């Protein structure tokens, strides 16, 4: 426990007269909001927002406060390591010590490496909440290139595109972040393109507060999204485009901007490579064609393009919407980045800015992985951008196929921290099949999830307020748009819960890599050294380290690409064998690619929508959050629903060729009439294992996992733009809400 951050103990104004209070960063999501945690006799009694914290200014979202206490002391939390004693998935376990569990895991890993090679062991990671770079360190030392993460359709595409286009494959310029919308820089035009930070979970309040502030200044507000919640603000222009056609839309904007001479001529002439080739390429995208592809009005497309190009500064708020377009992901994302560049909105106040990356010594040890082993990365030969560090990941759908087929080689072990794999990746049934084929499945989590149910060893993870961790995540902060680092701090110790870092350090030592796995504190100190600070000092800072933003860095430094320019025409893409210019690619499933299927499935399905009260697959156990949303809802345009005889609250079948789900209807008019949207991350902790309701509620039951339909550059899966049909369904005999209430009443 770190008492150095104590808030005037005994000061009733600060603490309410309780024994002690601590300033701690919230870790119920990526976030980093400041909280004050009150404790009585070693027990957390209250969590509330820290008014002095510049990020959240005292506000907390629905996931923090009461839910964070509920999560900490929830009776279903895993407190000890468990080893499987019955059939896989039968729910039979015995308690083990950490030492025994680690010995067992290490022994199995070494046996698999002896028999199948190091690549036969794979690791899995979730979001960056736990900053699990250390997983890659162990994988590299062990010799396996197979580490997976959700990054291939969450944030990773924007980072990879930025590396390829602006900062280069091998750049050391510290630009290897994605250009962030500089909403603190007083944008006069805000474009919310497939990302609605005020309602989605994109770093929660970190997104919500600054975007709200920016919209209060009344910039021109353009929304490019088939779904526009009220929180997106009153839109001056709303382009409800057909999901999966974002590249065509962006190319249509560029056609207007280039034809009408609205681009930034100085930036283009001095800093861009391949503008002439782009001007040729956009000739393929006249407005009438773009309108036909995107299902939007040509006049509105042109108006939006002109407005963005002439209302400087303008920022594009982008997010997972474009990360999850399947075969259109990389090119659509590149098209957006090029739009920012040619309009002069890149790296300027109020535009999209490469915020400074902290100079941290990350512990991956990439040099320990031999080129021969690296070449074996599943999917790396096909989806070349997967090999870019720090996002050097195996392709998840291909890896799960490999676990089933043993092709191109056997993968027999999967060690997962912080990820509920069964719910988070496409084709739920196939993932379960893959997990069942393994010789060793290790899952570290806070609760018994559908993934943990299938494991050989389940390890109890420490959560928010339970782990000291050099959590070096970055946050924007207004009004000068600075970056900061924060740490996760341990105030409470319950059972034998451990942080992911502690697990990997322990496992690394058991595998014989002790010299590379010093204590957590030593790791933290080494990581922070280049920043000129120590972990202890960082923990004592209320708000972390502030890094001043520098604009127009390219004026001094150029870009880190092979040509030294902003590569509209990407020489790296060309070398990899991909189209070096952005282009529209029709979604693999849709009215154009599969017209016969479209006749049977005439609506477009978007999955992957986030909900503010849940962090991906987390939070469904917590009463305080389930009260806000007891079961997933399907969003349908009210007119479309009427045509199908569906009324508000009715149950609806949503079917794709891959399966069907039944959800309650949420009707409104802020969604395209041909588009249906369902939330992601759902499972039902209150239902019995091993499935725990995934085939009733998990959106990934409906999603395609065929690698042929993924993005050709990075392998991103198509969570958006799928074909579906809907029909009114009988209500289930006992609804999910009723079952949830009954389960709670029985507690
Ligand atoms: S947005 Fe995230 S970090 Fe902030 S209060 Fe909510 S859960 Fe905590």
pLDDT, tens digit (0-9, with 9 covering 90-100), for 575-602: 999 999 999 999 999 999 999 999 999 9
Distance (angstroms) between ligand 1 centre and the Cα of 257 equals 39
Return the ligand 1 atom nearest residue 32 CA. Answer: 3
Enclosing H/E stretch for 725: strand 722-729
pLDDT, tens digit (0-9, with 9 covering 90-100), for 279-295: 999 999 999 999 999 99
Instruction: Provide mean pLDDT across the span 60-67.
Output: 92
pLDDT at 205: 61
pLDDT at 127: 79
- The number of CA neighbours under 13 Å toward the Cβ of 423 is 31
Q: Is the CB of 204 under 6 A from ligand 1?
A: yes
Q: Is the CB of 151 under 6 A from ligand 1?
A: no
Give the list of residues 6+ apart from residue 275 with CB closer than 8 angstroms, or none.
268, 342, 568
pLDDT, tens digit (0-9, with 9 covering 90-100), for 345-403: 999 999 998 877 666 676 788 899 999 999 999 999 999 999 987 678 999 999 999 99
Residue nearest to ligand 1 atom 3, measured at CA:
31
Other beta carbons within 10 angstroms of residue 98's beta carbon come to 16
Q: Is the CB of 233 under 6 A from ligand 1?
A: no
Give the list of residues 6+ apart from residue 508 with CB closer than 8 angstroms, or none.
137, 138, 141, 514, 516, 517
Q: How far apart are CA 410 and CA 138, in angstroms?
A: 20
Compare 482 and 545 and report the one with higher pLDDT.
545
**Which residues pair with residue 93 across a beta bridge?**
84
pLDDT at 381: 96
Q: Is the CB of 26 under 6 A from ligand 1?
A: yes
- Work out whether strand 482-485 and strand 474-477 pair parallel, antiparallel, or are unpaired: antiparallel
Q: Is the CB of 465 under 6 A from ligand 1?
A: no
Q: How far apart are CA 715 and CA 323, in angstroms?
A: 11
Structure tokens at 284: 């393929």
Distance (angstroms) between ligand 1 centre and the Cα of 391 equals 25
**Which residues pair with residue 20 across a beta bridge?**
39
Q: Is the CB of 32 under 6 A from ligand 1?
A: yes
Distance (angstroms) between ligand 1 centre and the Cα of 151 equals 20
Compare 328 and 547 and report the one with higher pLDDT.
328
Return the ligand 1 atom nearest residue 28 CA. Answer: 7
Distances, alpha carbon 656 to alpha carbons 243, 586, 659, in Å? 16, 18, 6
Q: Which of 28, 50, 487, 489 for a ligand 1 pocket mutation test, highest count of atoms within 8 Å of Cβ? A: 28
Q: Is the CB of 63 under 6 A from ligand 1?
A: yes
- pLDDT tier for residue 523 given thresholds of 50, 70 and 90: confident
Q: Give counts: helices (H), strands (E), the chain.
A: 27, 28
Distance (angstroms) between ligand 1 centre and the Cα of 564 equals 39
Q: Is the CB of 403 under 6 A from ligand 1?
A: no
Q: Which of 23, 25, 35, 56 for a ligand 1 pocket mutation test, highest count of atoms within 8 Å of Cβ? A: 56
pLDDT at 225: 97
Given a cut of 80, is residue 539 above it in pLDDT?
Answer: no
Q: Is the CB of 625 under 6 A from ligand 1?
A: no
Which conformational region is residue 293 in: left (phi greater than 0), alpha (psi within -120 to 50 degrees), or beta? alpha
Other beta carbons within 10 angstroms of residue 419's beta carbon come to 25
pLDDT, tens digit (0-9, with 9 covering 90-100), for 84-113: 999 999 999 999 999 999 999 999 999 999
Give the list of residues 6+ apart from residue 575 with CB closer than 8 angstroms, or none.
none
pLDDT at 544: 66
Tell whether omega for the bond before 740 is within 30 degrees of 0, i.e. cis. Answer: no
Return the ligand 1 atom nearest residue 59 CA. Answer: 5
Residue nearest to ligand 1 atom 6, measured at CA:
61
Contact of 317 with 237, CB cutoff 8 Å: no
Distance (angstroms) between ligand 1 centre and the Cα of 440 equals 34
Distance (angstroms) between ligand 1 centre and the Cα of 202 equals 10
pLDDT, tens digit (0-9, with 9 covering 90-100), for 18-34: 579 988 888 898 777 88
Q: What are the backbone dihedrals phi and psi of residue 741, each rounded to the nearest 5 degrees, phi first?
A: -65, -40
- pLDDT tier for residue 180 given thresholds of 50, 70 and 90: confident
User: Angle between the 98-116 and 500-510 helix axes, to the nearest 10 degrees?
Assistant: 60
Contact of 171 with 344, CB cutoff 8 Å: no
Distance (angstroms) between ligand 1 centre and the Cα of 209 equals 11
Distance (angstroms) between ligand 1 centre and the Cα of 678 equals 23
Distances, alpha carbon 552 to alpha carbons 55, 348, 540, 547, in Å? 25, 6, 33, 16
Other beta carbons within 10 angstroms of residue 478's beta carbon come to 17
Instruction: Provide mean pLDDT across the span 238-243.
Output: 98
Other beta carbons within 10 angstroms of residue 87's beta carbon come to 10
- Pick from 88-92, 651-655, 701-705, 741-745: least confident: 741-745
Q: Which of 17-21, 111-115, 154-158 is the most confident on average? A: 111-115
pLDDT at 131: 61
pLDDT at 171: 46
pLDDT, tens digit (0-9, with 9 covering 90-100), for 614-645: 999 999 999 999 999 999 999 999 999 999 99
Residue nearest to ligand 1 atom 4, measured at CA:
33
Residue nearest to ligand 1 atom 1, measured at CA:
204
Distances, alpha carbon 202 to alpha carbons 53, 321, 422, 466, 606, in Å? 19, 11, 22, 23, 18
Structure tokens at 731: 């209500």
pLDDT, tens digit (0-9, with 9 covering 90-100), for 492-519: 999 999 999 899 999 999 999 999 999 8
pLDDT at 11: 37
pLDDT at 6: 43
Q: Is the CB of 613 under 6 A from ligand 1?
A: no
- pLDDT tier for residue 469 given thresholds of 50, 70 and 90: confident
Domains and CATH numbers, the chain: 3-72 (2.20.25.90), 82-154+376-540 (3.40.50.740), 168-356+553-576 (3.40.228.10), 595-746 (2.40.40.20)
pLDDT at 98: 98
Percentage helix, strand, coil for the chain under 3-state DSSP, each rounded to 5: 35, 20, 45
Q: Is the CB of 25 under 6 A from ligand 1?
A: no
Q: Which of 117-131, 169-183, 319-333 is the most confident on average? A: 319-333
Instruction: Provide mean pLDDT across the span 139-158.
Output: 94
Distance (angstroms) between ligand 1 centre and the Cα of 33 equals 6
Separation of CA 212 from chain center = 22
Q: How far apart are CA 131 and CA 362, in angstroms?
A: 10
- pLDDT tier for residue 543 given thresholds of 50, 70 and 90: low
Distance in Å from the first CA to the final CA of the chain: 32
Average per-residue pLDDT in the chain?
90
Instruction: Provide mean pLDDT across the span 333-352.
Output: 96
């Amino acid at each position: 426990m770190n008492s150095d951050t104590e808030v005037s103990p005994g000061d009733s104004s600060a603490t309410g007269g309780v024994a002690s209070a601590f300033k701690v960063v919230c870790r119920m999501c990526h976030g980093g909001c400041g909280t004050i945690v009150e404790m009585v006799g070693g027990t957390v009694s209250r969590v509330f927002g820290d008014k002095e914290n510049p990020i959240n200014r005292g506000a907390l979202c629905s996931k923090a406060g009461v839910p964070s206490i509920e999560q900490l002391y929830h009776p279903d939390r895993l407190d000890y390591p468990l080893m499987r004693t019955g059939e896989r998935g039968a729910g039979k376990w015995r308690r083990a010590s950490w030492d025994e569990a680690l010995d067992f895991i290490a022994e199995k890993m070494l046996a698999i490496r002896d028999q199948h090679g190091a690549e036969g062991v794979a690791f899995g990671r979730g979001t960056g909440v736990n900053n699990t770079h250390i997983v890659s360190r162990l994988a590299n030392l062990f010799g396996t290139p197979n580490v997976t993460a959700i990054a291939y359709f969450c944030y990773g595409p924007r980072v990879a595109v930025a590396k390829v286009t602006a900062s280069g494959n091998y750049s050391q310029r510290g630009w290897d972040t994605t250009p962030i919308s500089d909403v603190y820089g007083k944008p006069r035009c805000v474009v919310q393109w497939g990302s609605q930070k005020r309602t989605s979970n994109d770093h929660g309040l970190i997104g919500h507060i600054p975007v709200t502030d920016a919209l209060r200044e009344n910039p021109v507000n353009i929304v490019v999204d088939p779904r526009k919640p009220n929180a997106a603000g009153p839109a001056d222009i709303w382009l409800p485009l057909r999901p999966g056609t974002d590249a065509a839309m962006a190319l249509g904007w560029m056609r207007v901007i280039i034809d009408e001479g609205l681009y930034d001529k100085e930036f283009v002439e001095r800093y861009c490579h391949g503008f002439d080739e782009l001007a040729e390429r956009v000739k393929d995208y006249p407005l009438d064609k773009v309108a036909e592809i995107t299902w939007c009005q040509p006049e509105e497309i042109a108006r939006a393009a002109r407005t963005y190009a002439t209302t400087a500064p303008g920022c594009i708020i982008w997010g997972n919407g474009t990360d999850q377009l399947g075969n259109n992901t990389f090119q659509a994302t590149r098209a957006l980045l090029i739009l920012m560049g040619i309009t002069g909105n890149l790296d300027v106040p109020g535009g999209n800015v490469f915020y400074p990356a902290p100079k941290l010594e990350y512990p991956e040890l990439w040099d320990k992985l031999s080129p021969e082993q690296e070449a074996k990365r599943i999917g790396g030969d096909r989806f070349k951008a997967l090999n870019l560090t720090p996002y050097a990941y195996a392709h998840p759908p291909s890896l799960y196929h490999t676990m089933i087929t043993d092709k191109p080689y056997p993968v027999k072990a999967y060690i997962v921290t912080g990820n509920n794999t069964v719910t988070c990746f496409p084709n739920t049934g196939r993932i379960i099949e893959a997990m069942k084929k393994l010789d060793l499945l290790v899952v570290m989590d806070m609760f018994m999830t559908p993934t943990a149910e299938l494991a050989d060893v389940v390890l109890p993870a420490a959560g928010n307020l339970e782990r000291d961790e050099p959590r070096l995540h970055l946050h924007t902060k207004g009004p000068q748009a600075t970056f900061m680092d924060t740490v996760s701090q341990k105030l409470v110790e319950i059972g034998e819960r451990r942080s992911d870092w502690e697990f990997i350090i322990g496992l690394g030592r058991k595998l014989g890599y002790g010299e590379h796995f010093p204590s957590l504190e030593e790791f933290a100190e080494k990581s922070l050294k280049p920043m000129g600070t120590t972990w202890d000092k960082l923990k004592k800072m209320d708000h972390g380290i502030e890094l001043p933003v520098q604009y127009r860095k390219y004026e001094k430094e150029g870009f880190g690409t092979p040509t030294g320019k902003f590569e509209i025409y990407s020489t790296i893409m060309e070398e990899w064998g991909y189209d070096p210019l952005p282009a529209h690619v029709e979604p693999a499933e849709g009215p154009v690619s599969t017209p016969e299927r479209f006749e049977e499935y005439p609506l477009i399905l978007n999955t992957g929508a986030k909900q503010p009260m849940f962090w991906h697959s987390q939070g469904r156990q917590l009463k305080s959050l389930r009260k806000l949303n007891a079961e997933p809802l399907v969003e349908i345009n009210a007119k479309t629903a009427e045509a199908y005889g569906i009324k508000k609250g009715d149950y609806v079948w949503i079917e794709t060729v891959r399966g069907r789900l039944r959800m309650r209807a949420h009707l409104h008019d802020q969604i395209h009439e041909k588009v249906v949207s369902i939330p992601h991350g759902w499972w039902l902790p209150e239902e019995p294992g091993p499935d725990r309701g995934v085939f009733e509620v998990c959106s990934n039951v409906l999603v395609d996992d065929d690698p042929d339909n993924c993005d050709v550059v990075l392998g991103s899966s198509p969570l958006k733009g799928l074909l579906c049909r809907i029909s009114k369904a009988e209500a289930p005999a006992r609804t999910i809400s009723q079952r949830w209430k009954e389960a709670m009443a029985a507690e």
